Amino acid sequence: MDIDLRFEPVTANRWDDFERLFGPRGAFYDCWCVALRLPHAVRTKMGPGERKSHMQGRIAVGPPPGILAYADDEPVAWVQVGSRHDVPQFNSPRTVSRPVEERDAHDPSFWAVSCFFLKSDLRGQGLSHRLLAGAIDHARRHGARYLEGCPIDHVKQSRSVTLCTGSTAIFDAAGFETVARRKDGRPLMRLDLRS
């Protein structure tokens, strides 16, 4: 299926679209895409409404924490992409996604693409490649030098929820290179946007 996608930064005036895409369950199990923004101990004490409010507040203050993909003016996908420092848990020393150098977590030119969410009826159709391409374009246009991700090598099925971080195959196809491997099956990958 060939679907025309248009990408737009998630700003306060697009909150209704973000909310509609995420639905009543906040995308994955009431997450509202705060998993990499808040420590586990904080996040798990919050109710779904609090997580939703946190993300709404984050979007309201800007800069955009990601992009929405639209098909025929309908929001169909979200990609969390922005400066590494905007997703503190992506930088935690205990995670496989932690930066190669500690200073990279604070360098505004180091960006992370850390979460993908696609409407369930569109999963398994290869659209993840296009979502990653949209994230790359967004990062490049906003001055990022490097874009990093920490995808998953293998999953049992292409529609798995665990693919919210993306699959290694789509990062490979986009030209990312592995810069660290702290856990089997979870490479930290980087794309140099200056080339």
Q: What is the CA radius of gyration of the chain?
A: 16
d(CA 26, CA 33): 8
d(CA 92, CA 124): 31
State yes or no: pLDDT of 156 exceeds 80. Answer: no
Specify whether the CB–CB gap between 122 and 74 falls below 8 A: no
Residues 17-69 pLDDT 10s: 999 998 878 887 788 888 889 888 898 899 889 999 999 999 999 999 999 99
Measuring CA to CA, how many Å separate 165 from each of 2, 3, 86, 90, 123?
Answer: 23, 22, 16, 11, 14
Provide the pLDDT confidence category of residue 155 given band limits of 50, 70 and 90: low
Q: Which of 78-82, 94-98, 117-121, 162-166 has the lowest mean pLDDT?
A: 162-166
pLDDT of residue 31: 86
Q: Which residues pair with 26 in a beta bridge?
A: none
Q: How many CA atoms lie within 13 A of 95 on its CB side?
A: 20
Sorted by where each starts, the structural domains of the chain and their CATH numbers stand as: 5-192 (3.40.630.30)
Residues 91-142 pLDDT 10s: 999 899 999 999 999 999 999 999 999 887 777 777 899 999 999 999 999 9
Residue 174: name the closest of 124, 139, 122 by CA: 139
d(CA 131, CA 100): 25
pLDDT of residue 4: 87
Specify whether the CB–CB gap between 16 and 56 falls below 8 A: no
d(CA 28, CA 22): 8
State yes or no: pLDDT of 173 exceeds 70. Answer: yes
* Mean pLDDT along residues 161-177: 86
pLDDT of residue 162: 53
79, burial (CB in 10 Å: exposed 0-12, middle 13-18, buried 19+): buried
Which amino acid type is present at position 134?
A: G
Q: What is the pTM (predicted TM-score) of this model?
A: 0.91
State yes or no: pLDDT of 175 exceeds 90. Answer: yes
Provide the pLDDT confidence category of residue 157 given band limits of 50, 70 and 90: very low
Higher-pLDDT residue of 157, 69: 69
d(CA 30, CA 173): 31
Provide the pLDDT confidence category of residue 161 given band limits of 50, 70 and 90: very low
Task: Give the pairing type, strands 177-181 and 6-9.
Answer: unpaired
